[in-house]
Structure 1
Amino acid sequence: MLKRSIGIGMLFIAGHAYSSNIVVTITEDIQANDKECSLREAVEYINLGLPEEGHNGCGGENSSNVILLEKYAVYKLNQQLKITQPLSIKTTYDTGLKENNIKGLNNAIIEMAGNERIFHIESSDDKRIQVNLSEVSLQGCGNDSCRPNQGGLILNHEYLVLDYVKLSQGRANQGGAIYNLAEVGENIAPAFIEIKNSLIQHNHATEGGAIYSRLPSFRIYAAVFSDNKTSDLASANLYTQLPTEDVENLKLLAAANTISSTTFNRNEGYVLNLRDNIGVNNVTLMGNSAGVRLEAPAGKGYIANSILLANPHPVTAQSANCSKEAADQSVLQNNLVSEECGTGDANYPNQIWQGSHIFSGNILEGACKVLSEDEDALFCPYQVKEEQFLGYIRPRILLNYQALADSPIVNKGYAQVGTTEQVTCASADQRGVNRASDNTLCDRGAIEITVPDASGLIGRDILAGEIAEMSVSDLIGDSDLVPAEFCDSLFSSNPTGKAWQAGCVQIEQTQTSSKGQLTIDEQGKIIYTPDSAWHGADVFKIKLVTSSTRFNTTKPYVEIRVQVIQAPENHMDSDKIKTSGGAVAGYGVLMLMLLAAWRRKK
């Protein structure tokens, strides 16, 4: 009851913005003619056509087809929910609070407590409907006791849109998370899935460990597929059963069904099968037990500007980044691949990676080693950083590169050659970072390497006798600090007068004289030690050389402003001054103001 009251209270405070939406007030899966509104009752109310009298505590006059859930709340279902009318389900929270404004980290959870899938989406008539799920997580029961034949979490016959959604623990024979019944017939629009900014993880199926689609009928952008499993080696985790009909009339390199700016990592079985009318662009596909099955005999499927590496065959353990059918004519442009994928398009050829050291630390997930510990690994392992919903695999800029052009990833976009058709880079990467619009400076894979173009700022308030610990790791972009022993090769002399530290750090006082000592390590951790118990501020700027900025001959560093404020310990507390009761006093003032307004009106 406490959780329920908090949720309703927050919605009342939000005001009229939510007045017409349907607020779910209870997490249990109940159906009763009372004042509480469960998720099941809310969906049933919309399926009934939004009657003005409401339904079992849900809705009423002027209600919309938007269902609101409370952040972090867990809504358990005993049986599947059938959706027959257009609707939206989303999590609501106060976006004005800094700690709450990261999408994907506040999701309400819809959990299957029984032995079925969660949603069966199918219109009650021939008209295709749209169902939107935003900032919610669907969680299956996670074992084979709840293993439907089709769709472990969702059976979709309609137009389904997922945004900042997590799909996990789904089990099925076909489509561990989603079964997409994309059939074509007279007066029938095929089911379609649009997935963006979402995580599909820990789903299992015999065919289509994550998604099973009857026909190519999906659009996936800025997503992560991780730890899904397909047990049938002839299938794939993102599996399309049948090719598009009438493929001969399709335009070359203009696939209607696209997967872009997406990461596939640690999936078991082939990741996807590429059919005609499917396009893959700026994808990072690494660390899976197998890569891509190429099945596009009409040459109307493509993979471009992507990275396909470190995907060994699950049985032979040999490289299996690309597996081609005999009749396949897939178009591969400008990818970083292994030998079995081939050179691809002669005008925009693939680059064949000849190295062997792919992941830093030889792990698929976790923290990246610094350059002095691992100097030649091409990528950092998959990592989800603090206050982020989706993780990613970061390319490294190595110290043995003599120029940035030596990287097989960075700035490897191509300008168009004559009238030859070309797949240009996706407009933004998996994190929403914009890429070069002309395609000549964009990076291969799901991540566009960034270098800060403005000064960052860090600071700490400390008491006398304390030290200030800070970090610059989030302010140096997608680069690493160069090791101290590398600095002599960059600078003819050392202006610091001391031994080099990580990043070849140089300190410039800006507003005050120096009042302490600073140390920094390759992870970007700073320790500032005051030289005495002074009272006030030490304001300065540090210059740090990174693996990327070192190539800039005029400004080979990033600048970060630092401010440390030190104060003496406060011993002035008095038991004659009470500071509690602020909330009560605030409510009292509010009540007085309301009473005054009421008297004025009277």
Structure 2
Amino acid sequence: MLKQSIGIGMLFIAGHAYSSNIIVTTTADTKADDQQCSLREAIEYINLGMPEEGYLGCGGKNASSVILLEKKAVYQIDTQLKITENLEIKTTYDSSLNDKTAPGLNNATIQMRGNERIFHIEDSKDRFLKVSLKELTLQGCGEERCRQQQGGLIYNNEHLILDYVKLSQGVANQGGAIYNLAQMTDEKIPAGFIEIKNSLLEANQAQEGGVIYTQFPRFVITTSVFKGNKTISVASANLYSAASLADEEIKAFPSMGNMIVSSTFTANEGYVMNVLDDIGVNNISLIGNSRGVYLNAPLGKAYIANSVILGNPHPVSVNTAANCVQAGSDATRLQNNLVGAGCGAGDSNYPNTLWTANSVLAGNLLEGACQTLSQDKTALFCPYQVPENSFLGFMRPRVLLNYNSLKDSVVLNQGQLQLGDNTVVGCAASDQRGKNRQSDITLCDRGAIEVMVPETMGLIGQDILAGQIAKMSVSDLLGDSDLVPKEFCDQVYPNNPTGQAWQAGCVQIEQLDTRSKGKLTVDELGNLVYTPDSAWHGADVFKIKLVTSTTRFNSTTPYMEVKVQVIQEHENRMESDKIKVSGGAWSAYGLMALLGLLGLSRRKA
């Protein structure tokens, strides 16, 4: 019954805004004249040219080529879905309901129940289709029985666009998630092209191309995460291009046709990527994989710039040079990167910074909560973590206490200005989260994440009853900073103005609208505990000043400010013995009769 009714609710939710789109009304993988529209039937309707009379319950006059799926619904399919026309498939939900869930968290899931891939995207006609998937999760069976020769989840030879898509559990010999045929056209241009943004590619595996196998470099990948994928062949990579185009078909450096930008690669087995001529890599964080990158661009028309390539392999093994491995004829430009052993000095004008210490990830963990600056004083990055209400996680750079200025960091403010006629690749305009980088290029950070410092006062508060304590957190307000430990506060304030022992963040309290009515404690994780000094009634409103790992460099105001408001009430135990609306059916009927009389009197009036 649920399968039959899922789309009916969508019809009422969508209203006129989606009246021309194709609404899938069942999660079942059906093909029958039953007036229900399945995903398979919707795709076949578009493949047929969208006849005005519709097709098996899908479409009709003035229908568009947009297919809508219900948020968080699971659509199980038994055999692959072939796409031969331009179309878009996306999750829909009613924005009028003020749904503040981040994109990617409402995804509908298309799950392979059978033994095949999910999509085969290819048209035999002489044209270039555009197929867009938005806010979807494609999930393979993840088992050997589902292994495909090419493309565990998608076989593509058209223009494929993925936005807020999760690709997982694809299994193949070539292309665990995607096989991109990139078949050469009469114009000597490969047809298949992949555009990936804001997406998560996780837990896919293949003999070659654990995530993507493409015949030629034909992709643009931005603001995405490749995590926990596996390539078995040591001669391949998780993002693998089989061959380069001819010299005359490759664009000149630095105007690369294929880009990998502002993305994170972690916990992958096998080389993460092979870099061929016509591939440009900028502002990526490639940390904690079993191998790093394989460089094979003999024409010198490829680059890696402003990136972090560290801790590959993880944990540290005998093969410490696996961060970068170069073919004998490689001439890839390496500009202004933070690298581990094996990547070399790079461009003489914009050299790499070599990091030889093992302290890359706090706690030496690939994933999990970040340790405080007291717990780990030396690691450059936090482990991979997905913030609350976020689709993608990242590895946040840490600002260490032994820095005398931000320039002491090997990550922060490491952008480079052009020197004379030497070509420099500047930082990407925004980071993996879509945060704009500094307009001053010399202040931009290496890697996928640009460290952000809040510029406005934060606000937190809690309502409590007498006898309770308030527990709050400022962790979400710290930006990409950490509270400094209490032992560090004397370096910030040689003369302690509080008259008390320091707490984490060198907290100072300034009363605003009320006198102080309680005691506040702060720990290094940003947890606040407020204990009222009595059973007072009303509010305690105050401002706290907190020193963080980044604000401490400001000599005049080395702190951020947060407004705190605690409201305390006495528990209301007042009960009335005059009115009682519980007590069974008679009370319910009586209430309905009373409401009916009220309505009648209003009509008479």
Structure-1-length-normalised TM-score: 0.94
Mapped to 1, the partners of 2:508 and 2:264 lie a distance apart of: 37
Post-superposition offset of 1:574: 4.3
Residue 305 of structure 1 corresponds to 306
C-alpha offsets along residues 98-151 of structure 1, whole Å, 9 cap, x if unaligned?
Answer: 554310000000000000000000124111110000000000000110111000
Paired residues of 2:7 and 2:25 also in contact (CA < 8 A): yes
Paired residues of 1:68 and 1:92 also in contact (CA < 8 A): yes
1:51 aligns with 2:51: yes
1:214 aligns with 2:215: yes
1:330 aligns with 2:332: yes
Residue 377 of structure 2 corresponds to 375
Residue 540 of structure 2 corresponds to 538
Paired residues of 2:3 and 2:27 also in contact (CA < 8 A): no
Paired residues of 2:482 and 2:549 also in contact (CA < 8 A): yes
* Residue identity in the other structure for 1:416: Q
Paired residues of 2:542 and 2:564 also in contact (CA < 8 A): yes
Residue 453 of structure 2 corresponds to 451
Residue 468 of structure 1 corresponds to 470
Residue 90 of structure 2 corresponds to 90
Mapped to 2, the partners of 1:59 and 1:248 lie a distance apart of: 42
Mapped to 2, the partners of 1:166 and 1:553 lie a distance apart of: 45
Mapped to 2, the partners of 1:121 and 1:373 lie a distance apart of: 50
Quote the RMSD (CA, aligned, Å).
Answer: 2.1
Find the residue that maps to 1:164 and give its secondary structure.
strand
Give the 3 Å change call, closer, same or farther, for CA 514–213 of structure 1 in structure 2.
same
Post-superposition offset of 1:179: 0.3
Paired residues of 1:100 and 1:106 also in contact (CA < 8 A): no
Paired residues of 1:415 and 1:438 also in contact (CA < 8 A): no
Find the residue that maps to 1:498 and give its secondary structure.
coil
The count of aligned residue pairs is 587
Bigger CA drift: 87-96 or 247-256? Answer: 247-256
Find the residue that maps to 1:440 and give its secondary structure.
helix
Find the residue that maps to 1:135 and give its secondary structure.
strand
Post-superposition offset of 1:37: 0.7
Residue 273 of structure 1 corresponds to 274
Post-superposition offset of 1:570: 1.6
Find the residue that maps to 2:380 and give its secondary structure.
coil
Post-superposition offset of 1:438: 3.9
Post-superposition offset of 1:13: 3.2
Find the residue that maps to 1:339 and give its secondary structure.
coil
* Residue identity in the other structure for 2:220: R
Paired residues of 2:7 and 2:26 also in contact (CA < 8 A): no
* Residue identity in the other structure for 1:145: R
Post-superposition offset of 1:185: 2.7
* Residue identity in the other structure for 1:220: I
Residue 399 of structure 1 corresponds to 401
Find the residue that maps to 1:165 and give its secondary structure.
strand
Post-superposition offset of 1:300: 0.3
C-alpha offsets along residues 465-493 of structure 1, whole Å, 9 cap, x if unaligned?
Answer: 11111110010110110001111121121
Bigger CA drift: 294-303 or 528-537? Answer: 528-537
Paired residues of 2:10 and 2:70 also in contact (CA < 8 A): no
Residue 482 of structure 2 corresponds to 480
Mapped to 2, the partners of 1:428 and 1:491 lie a distance apart of: 35
List aligned pairs for 1:179-578, cutoff 5 A: 179-187=179-187, 190-247=191-248, 250-312=251-313, 316-574=318-576, 576=579
Mapped to 1, the partners of 2:495 and 2:180 lie a distance apart of: 64
Mapped to 2, the partners of 1:310 and 1:384 lie a distance apart of: 20
Residue 600 of structure 1 corresponds to none
C-alpha offsets along residues 28-63 of structure 1, whole Å, 9 cap, x if unaligned?
Answer: 101110111110001011101111111111111111
Paired residues of 1:247 and 1:277 also in contact (CA < 8 A): no
Post-superposition offset of 1:94: 2.3
Tell me, which stretches of 5 or more residues in structure 1 are unaligned? 597-602
Overall identity of the aligned pairs, in %: 62
Give the 3 Å change call, closer, same or farther, for CA 376–249 of structure 1 in structure 2.
closer
Mapped to 1, the partners of 2:250 and 2:530 lie a distance apart of: 66
Mapped to 1, the partners of 2:559 and 2:419 lie a distance apart of: 35
Mapped to 1, the partners of 2:335 and 2:574 lie a distance apart of: 70
Post-superposition offset of 1:346: 1.0
Bigger CA drift: 238-247 or 154-163? Answer: 238-247
Bigger CA drift: 157-166 or 311-320? Answer: 311-320
Find the residue that maps to 1:16 and give its secondary structure.
helix
Runs of 4+ displaced beyond 4 Å: 96-100, 313-316, 577-581
* Residue identity in the other structure for 1:18: Y
Post-superposition offset of 1:21: 0.6
Find the residue that maps to 1:273 and give its secondary structure.
strand
Paired residues of 1:158 and 1:190 also in contact (CA < 8 A): yes
Find the residue that maps to 2:149 and give its secondary structure.
coil
Post-superposition offset of 1:313: 8.5
Bigger CA drift: 442-451 or 96-105? Answer: 96-105
List aligned pairs for 1:160-171, cutoff 5 A: 160-171=160-171
Mapped to 1, the partners of 2:249 and 2:62 lie a distance apart of: 49
Mapped to 2, the partners of 1:455 and 1:96 lie a distance apart of: 30
* Residue identity in the other structure for 2:311: A
Give the 3 Å change call, closer, same or farther, for CA 549–96 of structure 1 in structure 2.
farther
Find the residue that maps to 1:494 and give its secondary structure.
coil
Find the residue that maps to 2:477 and give its secondary structure.
coil
Residue 599 of structure 1 corresponds to none
1:21 aligns with 2:21: yes
Give the 3 Å change call, closer, same or farther, for CA 3–493 of structure 1 in structure 2.
farther
Give the 3 Å change call, closer, same or farther, for CA 573–175 of structure 1 in structure 2.
farther
* Residue identity in the other structure for 1:302: Y
Give the 3 Å change call, closer, same or farther, for CA 3–399 of structure 1 in structure 2.
farther
Mapped to 2, the partners of 1:313 and 1:202 lie a distance apart of: 17
Paired residues of 2:547 and 2:558 also in contact (CA < 8 A): yes
C-alpha offsets along residues 538-568 of structure 1, whole Å, 9 cap, x if unaligned?
Answer: 1111100001111110110110111111111
Bigger CA drift: 121-130 or 19-28? Answer: 121-130
Post-superposition offset of 1:245: 1.7
